[in-house]
Amino acid sequence: MSGIRPRSLAEVVDVGGAEYALPLDEFLDEFYTEYPDRDAMQAMISASPAYLGNEFADSYIGAVGEHLALRWDLEVPDWTCDARRSGGRTPRFVPDMPSLRPILLVEAPYAFRRRNIFTGEEPLQRARWPREVAVYEPAGLSRSPR
């Protein structure tokens, strides 16, 4: 990857392909520096990323796009609802540590959980995360009671 940070989720896949983890982290740093400019943030998730042909990767990218929209009160891009981004039947845990599974089952945000991907409460948090923003769960999409 070059020293230029991706400015959209589509660029994350264009730059990283199947090795999208580092470009995704770089993208998230760019995304959070745009806060509170909702128009800029929306533009960064609007274009549909290419499909990687890997069920987990395509679902994870879909979850990222949907979660960022829900988390930051943006419009959920239509591309996130494509069946190829819907997840598989087998639950996936990120990180895949058996001792964390009960916690991840409860904490996973809606966009990940509905794709059978179980993560921590804020799976996309980075150092550039806007500090003044509270934890957010969209109305009607709350987690199971603890």
CA distance linking residue 72 with residue 114, whole number of Å = 18
Q: What is the pLDDT of residues 34-83, one digit of tens each?
A: 999 999 999 999 999 999 999 999 999 999 999 999 999 999 999 999 99
Residue 3 DSSP code: S
How do the domains of the chain map onto residue ranges?
Answer: 9-118
- Strand segments, DSSP code E, in 60-116 are 92-93
Residue linked to tokens 């150092």: 127
Do you find a cis peptide bond into 95, omega within 30 degrees of 0? yes
- Write out the two tokens for 42: 């929306």
9-16 and 55-71 are packed helices; what angle lies between their axes, rounded to 10 degrees? 150
Q: How confident is the model at residue 128 (pLDDT cuts 50, 70, 90)?
A: confident
CB atoms within 10 A of CB 77: 20
